């Protein structure tokens, strides 16, 4: 036996010398071909055509310029039906999300459609106007000891205006709110 206790002991008896033999077989590394199979030639997946052959996407046919080409990204314009859909969402979205819906729609689509840019800004400005009206209504209500709470009826008219704007946008026509502080130009 060996004097070093940290050294692993061989399973053979000490009177027989160890015979050199072939090293133990290890499984192939991930991504390398199995033994007996030819390596893949520029094919990322087996049974798939190589790049440049029919059925494979051609370089430069994506949604923008190739990465690293130095060309600025040009967003794809919206179709007319998509323009109308996002304009409608900008008009009726504030019923659930206040000014957040038109703000997000305006920021995302302002470069892709002039119509959506215009209508989302109009809806966003209207929501900002409603915030000012809400603050004024709260102050009037507090000062008049709830007698001024009738001012909140203005929000019913605002909901009607938002529905009218959505109907006009569904036809592809722009809509201008009758009372609107246009802070965002």
- pLDDT, tens digit, 9 for 90 and up, residues 52-64: 566 555 555 555 5
Does 73 fall in a domain?
Answer: no
Question: What's the pLDDT score for residue 39?
Answer: 56
Does 126 fall in a domain?
Answer: yes
Mean pLDDT of the 95-101 span: 91
Residue with tokens 């106007």: 129
Mean pLDDT of the 1-29 span: 61
In this model, does residue 159 exceed pLDDT 90?
yes
Angle at 30 (CA atoms; ends 26, 33), nearest 5 degrees: 80
Does 60 fall in a domain?
Answer: no
Mean pLDDT of the 34-50 span: 56
Question: What's the pLDDT score for residue 101?
Answer: 94
Does 101 fall in a domain?
Answer: yes
Does 94 fall in a domain?
Answer: yes
Question: What's the pLDDT score for residue 10?
Answer: 55
pTM (2 decimals)? Answer: 0.60
Least confident of 9-13, 91-95, 164-168: 9-13
Structure tokens at 116: 């959506």
Does 162 fall in a domain?
Answer: yes
Mean pLDDT of the 94-110 span: 93
CA distance 124 to 101: 8
Q: How much of the chain exceeds pLDDT 70, in percent? A: 61
Question: What's the pLDDT score for residue 98?
Answer: 87
CA distance 130 to 154: 9
Mean pLDDT of the 133-161 span: 88
Does 115 fall in a domain?
Answer: yes
| Residue-number span of the structural domain to which 145 is assigned | 80-170
Does 95 fall in a domain?
Answer: yes
In this model, does residue 40 exceed pLDDT 70?
no
Total domains, the chain: 1
């Amino acid at each position: 036996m060996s004097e070093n206790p940290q050294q692993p002991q061989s399973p053979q008896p000490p009177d027989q010398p160890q015979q050199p033999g072939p090293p133990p077989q290890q499984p192939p590394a991930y991504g390398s071909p199995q033994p007996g199979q030819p390596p893949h030639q520029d094919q990322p997946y087996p049974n798939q055509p190589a790049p440049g052959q029919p059925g494979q996407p051609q370089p430069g046919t994506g949604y923008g310029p190739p990465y690293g080409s130095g060309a600025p990204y040009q967003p794809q314009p919206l179709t007319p039906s998509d323009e109308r859909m996002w304009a409608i969402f900008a008009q009726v979205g504030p019923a659930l999300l206040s000014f957040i819906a038109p703000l997000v729609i305006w920021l995302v689509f302002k470069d892709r459609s002039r119509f959506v840019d215009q209508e989302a800004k109009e809806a966003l400005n209207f929501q900002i106007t409603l915030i000012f009206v809400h603050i004024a209504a709260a102050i009037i209500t507090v000062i008049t000891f709830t007698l001024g709470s009738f001012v909140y009826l203005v929000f019913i008219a605002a909901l009607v205006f938002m529905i009218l704007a959505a109907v006009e946008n569904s036809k592809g026509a722009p809509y201008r709110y009758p009372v609107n502080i246009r802070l965002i130009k």
